[in-house]
Each structure stands twice: as structure tokens, then as C-alpha cells.
A and B are shown apart, each in its own frame.
Chain A
């Protein structure tokens, strides 16, 4: 049977091209993503080990259990320790460092590449030769005085800095101004991958990041022939046991690689989602192709059966053919995947987060995954057609025409489909009464949607006739060609349905996502501003820094400002979850937040007394007057807090409200301020006011000033990812849908050669034939799109009501533009996919009618 399968595959290679392409696409996404992930991880590792190449051991202060800022001053990392370490045998050089982070303003006053973990700051510590070997100077001189700084070449270029410029920057609060005196180079990948580096004089850096005379770390390089671990052991012996510790460079490199890798790992998720979608949709194409091949070969298979082939042999030959196709497709897909992997870093670096470049690393994992996925999906998808092939009776070798599907089979189909439909729709409808988007409800919603799509796929062949008759009213306008196109599309409803299934699924997914995304986005928009009574929000750009507390006064004093209230954000541990708590001043909070209290009042806030949002109240079962066991901020002890009020969910107030003094005391950054909410006189929202506020916060690069509109835009920005996924899926669906239509039409044209010849002989011109094929394709595409739209919209409605329970401002809004785009794209897919088969059909000679 192997040779039969092989010969069949070769004989039908043109027919199988589309199948191969579809599988190839999915495999390419899978293997491309995996190779990319491996290569990136390897590049990170290489970069990290480069960063620590010269460092054998680093000595750092040991965190004492009590923690806190007090440690800074009592650090043991001083020059005395550095000298002591230099005497340890095997130490070649000692390089003390005072590191931290510093965010810079570019020359035009805007924050420069401000991102957590990417804005390095360090001390320039001259060695014996007066130079710091870690930072070779290329221009100017090293920073010495407290008002001087140096930056690396990349930072200087990005910020448009010149020697002599004054640069404003912030390390963790107040804004500083320093003069640029030198430009250095660095190979630290955190900087070269789109970060910044600021170098200060030793004393300045010590004051900023440690305390005068102390360092944050001491790097040691090893003398040739000295082992890192051996050196670390020797160093540990000289260190005060509970005050400092030694870490090897290799360990630090590993740590950094893991950190950077986890930061960038998320990039791989999206392509994997696409891989899943394309393989799922592609499997319909595979099923369809093999079904058509089996149908075409019915007589041949019957003949094989008549001369003694067993059912199993017939089925196996189909599966073998699928295996061959899967192998070829996987191999091609893997190569394509390598291409994807090599361009992905550039694509993903578009937003400035440069990923390190490195050679492609091809591990065994992507190879196995590509083969497994490609071959697995193909063989699995060919299983049903192979069963159908096995069912071919020997007698069919004698029959001339194919038998119409039996009535019992379509009845079974109707019953199964309706059952699935009722189950799925019922599940979804039952959710409309749900109050919240709990995990359990979401799972039920997802299952409901899956059932709904399955029902549509099962019912599609039965729905084909009525739906296509309906669209036939439109194609009927094209006269006899439209009439024939409609009838041809109806000729084999199962084939039409299977061809349309790809578009059905992608349309359903995209329409559903678009509606939910649009509705959620608008709700978020409304919500973002709904809870805000203030006109401006001043907040920190990174999670590790706050707003200079001293700036609150200056903001309040700025002209045009009526109220400026500081808010300290921290965390509240309740039950098993972490909640966000806003520390506010009960006296002024009503000026800047629109709080809608279900019960209780914000006036009662104070030490030990908090208010919670209705979601928190519902989930913890606490009510006004009740007591809540919770841990605030870094306070590890849980305490009983009295709940003085429950307010409707409010993104500005977050999950809970507390007294600012108390929240600030327990914050990880004690005494810090995360937000300043500003109310202006008579809502004087203007560029001038905004500028005044910026000046009031010292134009700090760490701080952003946003009005309501900007706040809303930022909230809407979270929807951008969803949009990306949506359009990606639409594109994949369109491509595979097009492949499917090309496939089916090519097969149909081949089967109808004689008929098309007759039409030509009877006087239909080439344009008529082309139009007929094109209209058939558009009809099939429209059918899939209509069903998909119906399913997607229903699903979105049901899931949306779930969101409505959780989101105050949610209401179903249809993104007409996107939906229209989806419809037009699907029809275009049909028309474009028909191009080649239509041309082939039009080229047929009328003699085909009399041939054979």
C-alpha cells in the first residue's frame, strides 16, 4: 500500500499544494517561535556573560531582616574593605561601584527611554591609571564634581546631548541638573538594548545610591588561574559574616540572563497563539482536501476493494498519503519558521525594546515540535476521510455517478448539530444572568463558545442550502452565470461547508473579539474618567519610584490649581489575593475622586479604618461596619481593619481606600507619594496649566502629567494588544480561507471540465466562465462569513453580558467599521482566491465537452 500512497501523492501533488501550504504556515509559526525563543535566550545568556566576563566575584551588602534605608548608612562596603579585599590572594583588581538608576530628560525636555530596569546609573571610579576600565571615555573627561555627569554614546545620541549641556534627571525623587562632561562606551546589554547610562563622580554616586564613603558593591577580578568559586570562598572568609556576601560573576550572569529572558519571554506568546489558530483552521482544509481526493477516487478505491484490498488497507493508504504530505509540509514549514525566527527580533524591536541579535539556535525542541505538529495535525485531519474511503463498497466501481448523501446521515447531522447548538447557546444564555466575571463563569463562557462554533461547523452543510439561496438573490443579478454559480455552490453542500469553515471560524473569532474589545474599550474609556473628579493626574512612570513628596506643595501653590491631593499607593493582602490600596486624605478626597458609596462614607477613613470597592466587598463577604483581616504593604503582620464604607468599583480609587498617613507608613517606599490628583480653578485645562504642573514637579523624567483625555487614551492603549491579536487572526483566517477556496475550486473545475466545455460550446464566453467561478467563490466566502458573523455576534453578546456584570459602564457597542472590514475582506478573499481556478476554467476549450 505504501507504493500506492506514494504514487497517489505524486499524482495529486497539484491538489495537495494548498494543503501543504496550510500545514506549512502553522508549522512555520510553531517552529519559528520556538527557534526564536531559544535564540533569544541564548543571545541573552551570551550578552549577560559578556557583561560579567571580567568580574570573578562581587561583594554586596547582605540584606538584614529588618530591612529598610537604615542599612545604607551602616554599610560595610567602604574603601577599607576594598583595600582588605585587594590583599586576598588571587584577586587581580578591585573595582568598587555605586550603582542605582537615573531617569534622564532628553535635550527637548521629554523623558528619555524611561523604563523599569533600563536606566542605569553608576559611579565613575578611577583606577590607578586615573581611568575606569569599565567605561572607556571617547569624548570629554570623567565626571569628578558633584554637578558633572557622563553618559554612554547610545544615550547621548538618543537624547541629542552634547558635551557642556545641562541634563535634568531624577534618581528617585527630586530633580537634579548636571552638566555633561564626558561620553563613554559600554557593553552592558541592558544599556545597549535600548536603555540609558548615567555616570557620576564617585562621591556623588555614593551620596545618591549608598551613603558618603560607602559603595553598593565591590567587583573583584581574578588573577589568571584562580577559580571563581575558590576566590568567592576565600573572599567570604574575610567578610563580616552577616553584613556582606560574595557572589561569583557566573552566578550573576545566569541571574541576569534569566531576568532579561523572563522580561522578553512574553513576545513568544502571540506567535504561538497564531500557530494554534492557523493549525486549527488549517485542519479543516486538510479534511476537505482528503475528502475531495477520496470522493474523486471512489471508483479507483472500489476497484482496489473489488480485487481484494481490505478496508484497513484502503484507510491506511489514505493515512500514509497524509503522512507523506505532513512530512513535506513540516519540513517546508520548518524552513519557513527559520525565516520567521530571523526576522522576528527586528519586528519585535520596532517599539524600541531592542532584542539582542545572535545566531539562530536550532535545538531539538523546535524540530520535534514542527514534525509532531505538522504530521500529527495532517494525519489526524485525514482520519475521517480515510474512514470514508474504507467505507467505499466494491460495487461502486460499477456505478457511474456519485450517490447523494443518505437521508439518515443528514438527519444524524441535524440532530447532533442542533443538540450542540442548544447546549452551547443555552450555556451562553444562562451566563447572561451572571453577576461577575469569575474564573468559573469565564470557563463556562469559553466552553459555550466552543460548542457554538462546533455546532455551526456541524450544521453548516445543512445551512448551506437556505443561506446560499438567500445570497443567490444577489448573485442572481448576474444572470445565468450567477444562477449557475449559486447552483454549483449548492451542488455539494458538505464540500461548500467545509471550504467555508475556515472563514467561518476566523470571522466568528474576529467578530466576537472585535465586539467585545470595542465594548470593553469604550467601557474602559468611560470608566477611566468616571471615577476622576480631578482635572490632572500626576504620577510616577515606573513602579519602583514615586513622586517627590516635596512637589505636592509646589503643585498646590501653582497658579490655577485649586486642590492638589497626594495619593500613596500600596498593596493590601486580603485572603489569598493582592489588592491595590490608595492612601488618601479623607478631607480632600471628594474634590478629586467621584466616589459613589453604596454604604458608609469616606469621612470615616483613618488609621485602622478602610473602605473597599464593591467587588472586594462581594468577594470577601465583608460589609460596612465589619472587620477585614488584611496585611498592608510591607507590614507582614495581618491586622483587623474596620470597613467604614463600600463604594462602587472605581479605577482611580482602586480596590481599597485607606488613610494616607497609615498607607505611606507601611509602603515599600515609606513616605513616598505615587500620585498627585489636581483640581484646577474652573477646569482650566490647557497646555499652560499642564506646563505649570510640569514645572512644579521639576520637569522630572520620572513623572508624567496627564489630563482626563490622556488618561482615557492610556486606558484604551491596553486594547491595542487585543487588536493586534484580532487582525493577526483575521489575516491568518483570510490566507488559509483563500487557500481552501483555491483548493476546492481547482478541484471543482477539474471535475467539471466537460460541463465547462459544454457551456463554452453552447456559447458562454470566457468572461462568463470566469465570472461564474468567481461568483461561486464569493458565494462560498459569503456563506462562511455570514455564519461566522452570526456565531461571533451571538457569542459576543453572551460573553459581553458577563462583562456587563463586572463592569459598570459596559454596554454592547458594535464596531461597524471593523465588522464591515471583515465582511469585505472575506468577499475579497473569495474573489482573489478564484482568480487562478477561474483563469484555468476559462482557458478550457469547448472541445472538452466532446472529449472522452
Chain B
């Protein structure tokens, strides 16, 4: 599993679920200008579990937001499958997110008024599609929620809520699932469960998963880890283990492995 971190033309490579080319994101202007991403080109291969890591403010969340069509790049291009996002309007982007992308958020972001099952099938409901019974059952049983489908989010533990979110991300068979610090709000056991599900979805279902994390243990579940620093891709590692990731991070951060979570707002302000 060795992939050139800087493939010359990722947009033309087959087997790529999503890719960015020369992706640049600049916040603010003049004195307050911050370059969050500086010409980042990266591809995410189908059926691969990728973790994006880096110190606080390195641009890893921005990279994910742009790649997932939540945020628009200042320049450069983003592709999901064969679709170029830069040409899409809000309505098409919305549809793309609904049909081709799955999301797992740090804060779970389940709708408190819907039951677990309704939350899981929400992307399909929004699209006006009926869930495939077999697939739904498989996803639900994989995350171990069969007994809790009628519960509201408030009646579930954090780990259970995130498992609902994982099922929600998988249910529409998206081309790619993005996770934004999916274990950031969970204790280590619940986090391990969720990461296990994500890895299983890659192994068993052939799902493509991209996850932003600052936790070397979480990164250890991935097939590949890419490292960002100051808005640039600086390194990558295949078949990571927590120890090797930690070593690499210590090297980047000059000895301190403590990298607090990237705060989306702290970048812009």
C-alpha cells in the first residue's frame, strides 16, 4: 500500500474516490489573511481508510471540509468520483452530499427529535428514497443498535449516538465517508468501538473512509496516515501503528505530542 503522496495528476487516476488538486484556502484578507491550505493535492483511493493528522491550526479540518463540499476552496479543484465540485451550485452540492458523501461529526449531530432509526435513514428520507431492507439491517447490526432503534438521541450514550451517526453515514452507500474527529467526544472504549466499525466498513463493505484526528491511537486504525503542517502535506505513512504515528508527530511538533483538536473557529478569527 504505497501511494505517492504527491501524484502528478490525481484527477485522472482510476480507483480514486475523491481527490484534490492544488487546493488552496485563504481566510480573511490583508493583515488578517491566513492561508489554511497551500496548494494541497491528494487522492483518496477507493476502499481505503485514510487518517489526516497534524498539529492544531494545520488545516486538516479545512482540507476535509473542502474535500466534502462543505466549504469552497479559494483556488484549486476538488473531485468526488468523476464530479468536479467547483462547477456545482448550492443545490447540486447539496444533492451530492446527500447521495455520495457520508458524514460523521465530532458532536454526533443527531436530530434530537428523531428516533435512532429515523436518524439513520435521514439521508435516504431527504432524497425521497426507501432504505434497502437488507442493507439497513446489515448496517444496523454491524453497529450493534438493533435493540435501540426506537430510542431518541437523548436516551442514548455518547458512544451509542456516534454508532447511530456511523450507521447514518453508511446507509446511503456513499462514495466516501468523512469523519471529523469522530472519537473526539468519546471515552477510549467507545472510541475504539466506533473506529472498529469504521475499519470493518472498509474491510467488509469496501467503503472509502477519510477521518481527521489528532489521536495517534485512532490513526492506528487507518490504512494510511497523511500529515499536514501549516497548510501543506508534509508526510505520509502506510500501515500506521500508534507508536510510529506518535514518533512522527513528536518530530513535527518539536517534542510535544500534545496537539489539541483543530478548532474550526479559531482559524477564522
How many residue-residue contacts, CB under 8 A, span A and B?
84
Asked whether A761 and B97 contact (CB < 8 A) given A480-B126, A847-B70, the answer is: yes
Question: At the interface with chain B, which of A324-332, A484-492, A583-591, A662-670?
Answer: A484-492
Q: How many residues of A contact B (CB 8 A)?
A: 28
> Do residues A768 and B126 form an inter-chain contact, with CB atoms below 8 A?
yes
Among B95, B106, B114, B126, the most chain A Cβ lie within 10 Å of the Cβ of B126
Query: Given the known A-B contacts A487-B113, A759-B111, are A850 and B61 also in contact in the complex, defined by CB atoms under 8 Å?
Result: yes
Taking the closest CB of chain A, its distance from the CB of B186, in whole angstroms, is 14
Query: Which chain B residues (78-134) contact chain A, with CB distance < 8 Å?
Result: 90-91, 94-95, 97-99, 103, 105-107, 109, 111-114, 122-123, 125-128
Contact of A850 among B90, B95, B105 (CB under 8 A): B105
Please give the distance in Å from A117's CB to the nearest CB on chain B.
66
In angstroms, how far is the closest chain A Cβ from the Cβ of B7?
28
Which of A758, A850, A851 gathers the greatest number of chain B CB atoms within 10 Å? Answer: A850
A479/B65 in contact, CB under 8 A: no
Interface contact A758-B105, CB-CB below 8 Å:
yes
In the complex, the chain B residue whose C-beta lies closest to that of A484 is B113
- Which residue of chain B lies nearest to A767 when distances are taken between CB atoms in the complex? B91
* Cβ A763 vs Cβ B94 within 8 A: yes
Size band of the interface chain B makes with A: 20 to 34
CB neighbours of B106 from chain A (8 A):
850
Cβ of A849 within 8 Å of any chain B Cβ, yes or no, is: yes
With both chains docked as a complex, state the minimum distance between the C-beta of B125 and any C-beta of chain A, in angstroms: 5
- B265 in contact (CB, < 8 A): yes
In the bound complex, CA of A487 to CA of B115 (Å) = 11
**Do A763 and B71 have beta carbons less than 8 Å apart?**
no
B109 touches A851 (CB 8 A): no
Contacts of B122 in A (CB 8 A): 480, 762
A755 to B, closest residue via Cβ: B111
Shortest distance from the beta carbon of B28 to any chain A beta carbon, whole Å: 16
A847 to B263, CA, bound (A): 12
A627 in contact (CB, < 8 A): no
| CB of A765 within 8 Å of the partner chain | yes
Is A70 an interface residue when CB atoms closer than 8 A count as contact?
no
CB distance from B117 to the nearest CB of A (A): 13
Q: Are the CB atoms of B112 and A850 closer together than 8 Å?
A: no
Contacts known (A479-B125, A761-B97, A762-B123); A491 close to B112, Cβ less than 8 A? yes
How many angstroms from the CA of A764 to the CA of B263 in the assembled complex?
Answer: 25
A765 vs B79: C-alpha distance when bound (angstroms): 21
Give A738-768 as 1s and 0s: 1 = Cβ < 8 Å from B's Cβ atoms.
0000000000000000110111111111101
A480-B122, A850-B106, A851-B265 in contact; A761/B111 too (CB < 8 A)? no
What are the residues of chain B within 8 A of A846 when measuring CB–CB? 70, 97
A364 within 8 A of B: no
Q: Which residues of B contact A761 (CB under 8 A)?
A: 70, 97, 103, 105, 109
A847 touching B264, Cβ below 8 Å: yes
Q: Complex formed: what's the CA distance from A645 to B164 in Å?
A: 86
Closest to B125 in A: A480
- Given A754-B107, A762-B97, A850 and B180 contact (CB-CB distance below 8 Å): yes
Are B99 and A763 in contact, CB atoms less than 8 angstroms apart? Answer: yes
Q: Closest approach, in angstroms, between the C-beta of A801 and any C-beta of chain B?
A: 44
How close is B223's CB to chain A, nearest CB, in angstroms?
24
Q: Are B90 and A766 in contact (CB under 8 A)?
A: yes
- Interface flag for B234 (CB, 8 Å): no
Contact indicator A852/B112 (Cβ below 8 Å) = no
Chain A neighbourhood of B125, CB < 8 A = 479-480
Task: Give complex CA distance A491, B97 in Å.
Answer: 27
A401 at the interface (CB under 8 A from B): yes
Chain B residues, CB < 8 A from A766: 90-91, 94
In the assembly, what is the distance between CA of A487 and CA of B105, in Å? 23
The answer to whether B94 and A760 have CB atoms under 8 Å apart is yes
Tell whether A762 pairs with B103 under 8 Å between CB atoms, given A480-B126, A847-B71, A850-B61: yes
- Report how far A768 CA is from B98 CA in the complex, Å: 13
Cβ of B154 under 8 Å from chain A:
yes
Main secondary structure of the interface of B (DSSP, over half): helix
Residue of B94, B99, B107, B154 with most chain A CB atoms under a 10 A cut-off: B94
Minimum C-beta distance from B109 to chain A (A)? 4
**Chain A: minimal CB distance from B190 (Å):** 16
Contact of B264 among A490, A764, A852 (CB under 8 A): A852
> A763 to B105, Cβ gap below 8 A?
no
Query: Which residues does chain B contribute within 8 Å of A487, judged by CB atoms?
Result: 113-114
- Considering only CB atoms, which chain B residue lies closest to A766 in the complex? B90
Whether B94 lies near A755 (C-beta < 8 A) is: no
Contact check, A849 vs B105: say whether CB atoms are below 8 A apart.
yes
Instruction: Provide the residues of chain B in CB contact with A764, threshold 8 Å.
Output: 94, 98, 126
Which residues from A are CB-within-8-Å of B168? Answer: 762
* Cα–Cα, bound, A700→B190 (Å): 98
Most buried by B among A491, A754, A847: A847
Q: Are A763 and B180 in contact (CB under 8 A)?
A: no
Residues of B within 8 A of A762 (CB): 97-98, 103, 122-123, 126, 168
For the complex formed, measure the closest distance between the CB of B166 and the CB atoms of chain A, giving whole angstroms: 14
Closest residue on chain A to residue B100 by CB atoms: A763
Whole-angstrom distance between the alpha carbons of A487 and B94 in the complex? 23
Known contacts A479-B128, A480-B122, A846-B70: A755-B112 contact under CB 8 Å: yes
How far is A401 from B123 in the complex, measured between Cα atoms in Å?
A: 26
CB-CB under 8 A from A845, the residues of chain B are: 70-71
A763 engages B127 (CB within 8 Å): yes
Q: Mark A200-223, 1 if CB is under 8 A from B, else 0.
A: 000000000000000000000000
Contact A401 B154 (CB under 8 A): yes
Residues of A within 8 A of B61 (CB): 850
What are the residues of chain B within 8 A of A849 when measuring CB–CB?
103, 105, 107, 109
Are B113 and A488 in contact, with the CB atoms below 8 A? yes
Across the interface, which residues of A come within 8 angstroms of B71, CB to CB? Answer: 845, 847
B264 and A851: CB pair below 8 A? yes
A761 and chain B: residue at smallest CB distance: B103
Q: Which residues of A contact B105 (CB under 8 A)?
A: 758, 761, 849-850
Q: Mark A754-791, 1 if CB is under 8 A from B, else 0.
A: 11011111111110100000000000000000000000
- Which residues between 114 and 173 of chain B lie within 8 Å of chain A, taking CB atoms? 114, 122-123, 125-128, 154, 168
Pair A754/B109 contact, Cβ less than 8 Å = yes
- Indicate whether A765 sits within 8 Å of B94 (C-beta atoms), given known contacts A850-B61, A851-B264: yes
Q: 1/0 per position for A824-852, CB-CB distance to B under 8 A? A: 00000000000000000000011101111
A850 touches B65 (CB 8 A): yes
Give the complex CA separation of A766 and B106 in angstroms. Answer: 24
CB of B149, distance to nearest CB on chain A (Å) = 16
Complex Cα gap A768–B125 (Å): 12
Q: How far is the CA of A755 from the CA of B127 in the complex (A)?
A: 18
Residues on B with beta carbons closer than 8 Å to the beta carbon of A851: 264-265
Smallest CB–CB gap between A38 and chain B, Å?
54
Known: A768-B126, A850-B61, A850-B105. A758 touches B94 (CB 8 A): no
Residues of A within 8 A of B263 (CB): 852
Kindly list chain B residues whose C-beta atoms are within 8 Å of the C-beta of A488: 113
| Min CB–CB distance A480 → chain B (angstroms) | 5
Task: Taking A765-B94, A849-B107 as given, write out 11 further A-B residue pairs in contact, using a Cβ cutoff of 8 Å, ordered by the A residue number.
Answer: A755-B112, A757-B109, A758-B111, A759-B111, A761-B105, A762-B98, A762-B123, A763-B97, A763-B127, A849-B105, A850-B264
Question: Mind listing 27 A-B residue pairs with CB under 8 Å?
Answer: A479-B125, A488-B113, A754-B109, A755-B111, A757-B109, A758-B111, A759-B111, A762-B97, A762-B98, A762-B122, A762-B123, A763-B97, A763-B99, A763-B123, A764-B94, A764-B98, A765-B94, A765-B95, A766-B90, A846-B70, A847-B71, A847-B264, A849-B105, A850-B105, A850-B107, A850-B180, A850-B264
Q: Which A residues are within 8 Å of any B CB, using their own CB?
A: 401, 479-480, 484, 487-488, 490-491, 754-755, 757-766, 768, 845-847, 849-852
Nearest 10 A/B pairs, CB to CB: A763-B98, A487-B113, A758-B109, A765-B94, A480-B125, A763-B126, A846-B70, A763-B97, A851-B264, A849-B109
Identify the B interface with A (CB < 8 A).
Answer: 61, 65, 70-71, 90-91, 94-95, 97-99, 103, 105-107, 109, 111-114, 122-123, 125-128, 154, 168, 180, 263-265
